[in-house]
Structure 1
Amino acid sequence: MSYSAEISRTSPTAFLFLVDQSGSMQDVMENGKSKAQFVADVLNRTLATLITRCTKSEGTRDYFEVGVLGYSGSVAENGLAGHLSSAILHPISQIEAHPLRVEDRKKRVDDGAGGLIEQSIKFPIWFEPKASGGTPMCNAITAAAEQLVAWCDAHPDSYPPTVLHVTDGESTDGNPEELASQLQQIGTSDGNVLLFNLHVSTSGGDPVRFPISDAPLNDDYAKLLFRMSSALPPHLQKVAQEKGIKATMESKGFVFNGEISEIVDFFDIGTRAAQLR
């Protein structure tokens, strides 16, 4: 395990989001939003955060290449539309330049006197929520692997790509475990592709965050996702610990029964790559 290559404009890394868009993502979470809508909101906010991390005085540096694959029915397809529909992975400057639209949204902020006030903010939208059909997870992982083989061939010494997979149900097109293992064999000289899995829940069960074994997991599906997940590299263990999560060298990048706060933390931790130059 290395995961220590410095990230620069000439040696970027990649983030590929795999998002379950099956019918069950219509289920409503405790905040009143569907799982599909909330995941889309967090993903859009994450893209904006990645742009901010790459912004310097002279503009946006292409430290990251980013893409989204949504999957439902029997297919996995580009989750980004418009100008960004021409390819799956794009330099972060292209993501910044081509949102679908920018919405005005309300955000509660501290008023400086112990209260909260509503403030209007600009919220760029790149990824739209969708929820219908089955859960073709095998198709999605295969599509991700095709993208990342080509990416690693083109960036042989870069910090390896990270796949952040969000799902709320079992695969409907076969067992994805072997395909997930093959995906994690793709890599660069700095390490293999990282695959992190988040199970989104509305069941009210206690979340399991970055476990070291499958002992806390109470069903075979959860244990399958645990086996499909990469170990957290040391610098991501530290990020998790800073959020109050007990992460160790044995922790896997896996969250089960994730609700609102777990989804936000999962995206934030998973996109903290190594040192930017």
Structure 2
Amino acid sequence: MDAYRQSVSRSDPGCVVILLDRSDSMKLPWGRTGATLAEGAALAVNNILLDMCIKATAEVNAPVRHYFDVGVFSYGARLQEPGEGVESAFGGALAGQGLVPLPELAEHPMSVRTEPSIDLMAVSAKMPVWVDPVHGYRTPMCQAIAVVGGHVFDWAAAHPNSFPPIVINITDGMVTDSPFDGVTLADWVKRMTSIETNDGPTLFFNVFLSPAEVAEIVFPSTPAGLPIPGPDLFALSSDLPRPMIENARVDGYDVQAGARGLAFNVGRSTLLKVLQIGTRVPDRPA
């Protein structure tokens, strides 16, 4: 039986974890958008969280249903002392929390404020905000995956029949802590993606942001032609499951067999589309 076919439901919710790079280089401008990488990434994360809440309602103004547990973890915002390199990115009432049920997330944004359009074409609008743009120090990606791996392990053990956890890493830099506790980045990722539910192994996707105005590469099937650190991120990224390949093709991407969950040098609007594809699992039962 094929993996990655389990629908999400209130009895078998899914799990989405976003890893958000908050290293020093996130202060750089994002092309001609007028925003920094940190601002654009935070805007995209808030948009995808809102999108998940909206899609988990049966009708307008109906309660948000518990179709997902969601976490956003940041790394690099503070000097990397033991235990300080990785933390929950949520603010307000959710500050410090790990995985949060979607209804609780919907009820507790840290604010509702006017935010610019993600695609720079529409007018600004009021929207809930769960994470702020932050930039800090180095890029402890290994520690981030180690911390998140613990949450993923516990979640998968508690939800053996669910669609496997999805971890999406949004970064703009090179890892600065490999090896961490004597384990390389590649092996930390192997440990995390070896965690399974009955529907398959944990998925690990990567989104690389760049201040340079260069061509976007979305869901490549080969590392050929990818500039550094593209080949390394390609090797770390999971194969895109068949349902997500179908989603990407519906959204207009020419996705070939063997495509990986990697988006390279993406702009703001593409970042949101990639996040939507990466979190859109098989349709829930009616």
The one-letter code of the counterpart of 1:134 is: R
C-alpha offsets along residues 181-225 of structure 1, whole Å, 9 cap, x if unaligned? 111111100011110001001112222211111112133x21110
C-alpha offsets along residues 126-183 of structure 1, whole Å, 9 cap, x if unaligned? 0011001000000001011000000000001100110010000000111411111111
- Quote the Cα distance in structure 2 between the aligned partners of 1:198 and 1:69: 15
Who is 2:187 aligned against? 178
Q: Report the CA distance between 1:70 and its aligned residue.
A: 0.3
- Quote the Cα distance in structure 1 between the aligned partners of 2:195 and 2:235: 17
Match of 1:218 among 212, 221, 227: 227
Who is 1:85 aligned against? 95
Q: Report the CA distance between 1:105 and its aligned residue.
A: 4.2
Who is 2:20 aligned against? 19
Q: Is the 8 A contact 1:76 1:139 kept in 2?
A: yes
Who is 2:57 aligned against? 55
> Are 2:252 and 1:244 aligned?
yes
TM-score by length of 2: 0.89
SS of corresponding position for 1:197: strand
**How many percent identity over aligned positions?**
31
Return closer, same or farther for 1:202/1:83 CA change in 2, 3 Å cut-off: same
Q: Is the 8 A contact 1:4 1:275 kept in 2?
A: no
Q: Report the CA distance between 1:249 and its aligned residue.
A: 2.9
- Quote the Cα distance in structure 1 between the aligned partners of 2:106 and 2:114: 17
> Are 2:5 and 1:4 aligned?
yes
Q: Report the CA distance between 1:86 and its aligned residue.
A: 4.7
- Quote the Cα distance in structure 2 between the aligned partners of 1:214 and 1:230: 13
Higher strand share: 1
> Are 2:35 and 1:42 aligned?
no
TM-score by length of 1: 0.92
Match of 2:71 among 67, 81, 86: 67
Return closer, same or farther for 1:121/1:272 CA change in 2, 3 Å cut-off: same
Return closer, same or farther for 1:222/1:7 CA change in 2, 3 Å cut-off: same
Structure 1: runs of 5+ lacking an equivalent = 109-115
User: Equivalent residues in 2 for 1:76-225 (5 A)?
Assistant: 76-105=86-115, 118=123, 121-174=125-178, 175-219=184-228, 221-225=229-233
The one-letter code of the counterpart of 1:236 is: M
The one-letter code of the counterpart of 2:11 is: T
SS of corresponding position for 2:263: strand
Q: Report the CA distance between 1:106 and its aligned residue.
A: 6.1
C-alpha offsets along residues 86-107 of structure 1, whole Å, 9 cap, x if unaligned? 5210110000000001003466
Structure 2: runs of 5+ lacking an equivalent = 179-183
- Quote the Cα distance in structure 1 between the aligned partners of 2:186 and 2:18: 18
Who is 2:181 aligned against? none
Q: Is the 8 A contact 2:208 2:263 kept in 1?
A: yes
The one-letter code of the counterpart of 1:39 is: A
SS of corresponding position for 1:56: coil
- Quote the Cα distance in structure 1 between the aligned partners of 2:257 and 2:201: 17
The one-letter code of the counterpart of 2:51 is: T
> Are 2:32 and 1:28 aligned?
no
- Quote the Cα distance in structure 2 between the aligned partners of 1:215 and 1:257: 15
Question: How many pairs are equivalent?
Answer: 269
Return closer, same or farther for 1:154/1:117 CA change in 2, 3 Å cut-off: closer
Q: Report the CA distance between 1:81 and its aligned residue.
A: 2.2
Q: Is the 8 A contact 2:19 2:167 kept in 1?
A: yes
